[in-house]
Amino acid sequence: MLECDVAVVGGGTGGYVCAIRAAQLGLKVILVEKDRLGGECLNYGCIPSKSLITISKLYEKTRDAEKFGLKVSGVSIDYDELQRWKAGVVTKLVSGVESLLKGNHVAVVPGQATIAERNRLVVTTGSGKEEIAAKNIVIATGTHPIQIPGVEFDGSVVISSREALELRGAPGDFLIIGGGAIGLEFACMYQKLGSRITIVELMEQLLPGGDPEVVRVVQRKLEERGAKVYLKSKVSSVSKGGTKATVEIETPQGRVSVGADKVLLSVGRAPRVEDLNLSGLGVGTDQRGYVVTDKRMMTSVSGIYAIGDVRGPPLLAHKASKEGIVAAECIAGLPSAADWTVIPETIFTDPEVASAGLTADRAAQAGFQAKSVRFPFAALGRALTAGETEGFVKVVYLPDSGSVLGVQIVGSEASNMISEVALAIEMGATIEDIAQTIHPHPTFPEALMEAAESAAGRPIHQLRL
Ligand code: FAD
């Protein structure tokens, strides 16, 4: 029987970070992974999707380059080469994780773990069963995509994000069920690669829960590029004939039938806990099956922790990693806890969306007498020089104290701009702090300073409201 202080189940961005931090703190760590180190994010999520999104953007820009005076002809995509490059990026990062684990003396056991007892794991490996006695166990098993009744994954016509990352060409007609972050990233990407896109969303707006003004910019751009968007609509059936599908959609205007070469089902995810014996152990879960923990990431069973997606939304890689660090530090006896104010979020649509803190609607619901200001990228020098003038920065703040409650950004570079916002909110910065901080020119983050200047009542590059 193997023995350790901490056994981490799952080697994703939550689990491997937890394992490294625990080992740094002098604990003996074993990491169990049934598939590939790096988990969903490195292998099937953030990294491969952003690789393809980058190239789709470059492809579109190159085709449109004539308006900048750049003459380019015969632009085409070699999908085999593109997939090889993308796989290379993933492999490089995964081997980086392997080296980091090795360098930190984390033992990796490849196999599928189940928790037999509070302190004992049984791992099914390629060559049999391995038992691990662990003083502490960290569950970091992530989530899997869900299906809807009558619409099941078949791996070729009705596909999940995994298959959508492996296509050897843009489907002619691509229907996406679910207008959340993952669905819209694929919609924007394949639209630029040449697909005709249809999006079906059950709720009344795309990116449900997002700021409606922000979402409008993304939807408008999708529609300008030719997408058909059905809101408050539901797919009732998908019938397949050979390599094509006919999708029946119930819309507020009646039933519509749409043909599709591929159907991406991205309607949400559920925790991957089936193999873990949680109820046998008495580990508490919520109504959706996510593992419940306290702020130290400890579950209802002492010595068993849970981190990352398996703990529930927001399902984000950086949240998983941070929770992994908290769990490792708590196990090592440090006074660590989930005490952050904001978890920034980025969506790699085109234009990009990023948010930290409260939207105006959420601030009102929480009882704040908040105000908001916007600064448009169309008024920003750097945005013009990049030919990326769509969108705005919106700051939600308290007029009396100047406290920043939240910022939403839609536009180019939104993903790179939101970290400053997260730092500002975590540090309790006010509108004045942001407005008084000199931002280099010409850059996209100047838009945040300009918005703060507007909130402070002294806008320079836009007229007083
Ligand atoms: P996972 O990464 O899911 O890792 C769990 C690991 O546990 C897996 O490797 C699995 O094989 C292993 N495992 C499960 N059960 C067992 C068992 N019984 N025994 C052993 N091993 C087991 N997030 C972002 O922040 N930014 C993005 O841009 C982004 N893009 C995304 C794009 C797509 C298409 C998808 C699908 C997701 C994206 N995400 C993004 C979400 C991100 O991938 C997750 O938030 C992140 O992977 C969660 O990490 P985790 O460690 O909690 O779980």
Q: How far apart are CA 307 and CA 271, in angstroms?
A: 11
**Residue 151 within any structural domain of the chain:** no
312 and 380 fall within a common domain: no
Q: Which of 307, 331, 355 is the last residue of a domain?
A: 331
30 and 125 fall within a common domain: yes
**Residue 66 within any structural domain of the chain:** yes
Of the pLDDT bands very low, low, confident and very high (cuts 50, 70, 90), residue 247 is very high
Region 130-138: mean pLDDT is: 98
Percent of the chain with pLDDT over 70: 100
144 close to ligand 1 (CB < 6 Angstrom):
no
18 and 139 fall within a common domain: yes
203 and 108 fall within a common domain: no
- Residue with CA nearest ligand 1 atom 23: 316
327 and 213 fall within a common domain: no
Q: How far is the CA of 24 from the centre of ligand 1 (A)?
A: 23
Q: Which of 152-161, 236-245, 256-265 has the lowest mean pLDDT?
A: 236-245
Question: What per-residue confidence (pLDDT) applies to 241?
Answer: 85
Q: Which atom of ligand 1 lies closest to the CA of 165?
A: 34
83 contacts 45 by C-beta, under 8 angstroms: no
9 close to ligand 1 (CB < 6 Angstrom):
yes
**Residue 463 within any structural domain of the chain:** no
Q: How far apart are CA 34 and CA 36, in angstroms?
A: 7
Catalytic residues: 441
- Residue with CA nearest ligand 1 atom 41: 316
Question: What per-residue confidence (pLDDT) applies to 330?
Answer: 98
The CATH code of the domain that includes 312 is 3.50.50.60
61 and 120 fall within a common domain: yes
51 close to ligand 1 (CB < 6 Angstrom):
no
237 and 96 fall within a common domain: no
**Residue 251 within any structural domain of the chain:** yes
**Residue 377 within any structural domain of the chain:** yes
Q: Which of 331, 359, 381 is the last residue of a domain?
A: 331
Of the pLDDT bands very low, low, confident and very high (cuts 50, 70, 90), residue 275 is confident
Instruction: Please determine, for residue 19, whether its predicted confidence score (pLDDT) is greater than 90.
Output: yes
**Residue 394 within any structural domain of the chain:** yes
245 and 166 fall within a common domain: yes
352 close to ligand 1 (CB < 6 Angstrom):
no
Of 20, 34, 36, 40, which is best to mutate to test ligand 1, by the most ligand atoms within 8 angstroms of its C-beta?
Answer: 40
Q: Is pLDDT larger for residue 149 or for residue 230? A: 230
Question: What per-residue confidence (pLDDT) applies to 463?
Answer: 86
Tens digits of per-residue pLDDT, 287-336?
999 999 999 999 999 999 999 999 999 999 999 999 999 999 999 999 99
- Residue with CA nearest ligand 1 atom 32: 45
| Mean confidence (pLDDT) of the chain | 97
352 and 442 fall within a common domain: yes
3-state secondary structure the chain: CEEEEEEEECCCCCHHHHHHHHHHCCCCEEEEECCCCCHHHHHHCHHHHHHHHHHHHHHHHHHCHHHHCCCCCCCCCCHHHHHHHHHHHHHHHHHHHHHHHHHCCCEEEECEEEEEECCEEEEEECCEEEEEEEEEEEECCCEEECCECCECCCCCCEECHHHHCCCCCCCCEEEEECCCHHHHHHHHHHHHCCCEEEEECCCCCCCCCCCHHHHHHHHHHHHHCCCEEECCCEEEEEEEECCEEEEEEEECCEEEEEEECEEEECCCEEECCHHHCHHHHCCCECCCCCECCCCCCECCCCCEEECHHHHCCCCCHHHHHHHHHHHHHHHCCCCCCCCCCCCCEEECCCCCEEEEECCHHHHHHCCCCCEEEEEEHHHCHHHHHHCCCCCEEEEEECCCCCEEEEEEEECCCHHHHHHHHHHHHHCCCEHHHHHHCCCCCCCCCHHHHHHHHHHCCCCCCCCCC
Q: How far is the CA of 96 from the centre of ligand 1 (A)?
A: 17
Question: What per-residue confidence (pLDDT) applies to 465?
Answer: 60
**Residue 461 within any structural domain of the chain:** no
Q: Which of 331, 360, 381 is the last residue of a domain?
A: 331
Region 21-33: mean pLDDT is: 98
32 and 118 fall within a common domain: yes
Instruction: Please determine, for residue 30, whether its predicted confidence score (pLDDT) is greater than 90.
Output: yes
pTM comes to: 0.97
Give the number of domains in the chain. 3
Neighbours of 253 (CB within 10 A): 9
177 and 217 fall within a common domain: yes
Instruction: Please determine, for residue 29, whether its predicted confidence score (pLDDT) is greater than 90.
Output: yes
Domain holding 350, by residue range, is 345-455
Question: What per-residue confidence (pLDDT) applies to 47?
Answer: 98
The CATH code of the domain that includes 449 is 3.30.390.30
Q: How far is the CA of 316 from the centre of ligand 1 (A)?
A: 8
Of 44, 141, 419, which is best to mutate to test ligand 1, by the most ligand atoms within 8 angstroms of its C-beta?
Answer: 141
**Residue 368 within any structural domain of the chain:** yes
291 and 388 fall within a common domain: no
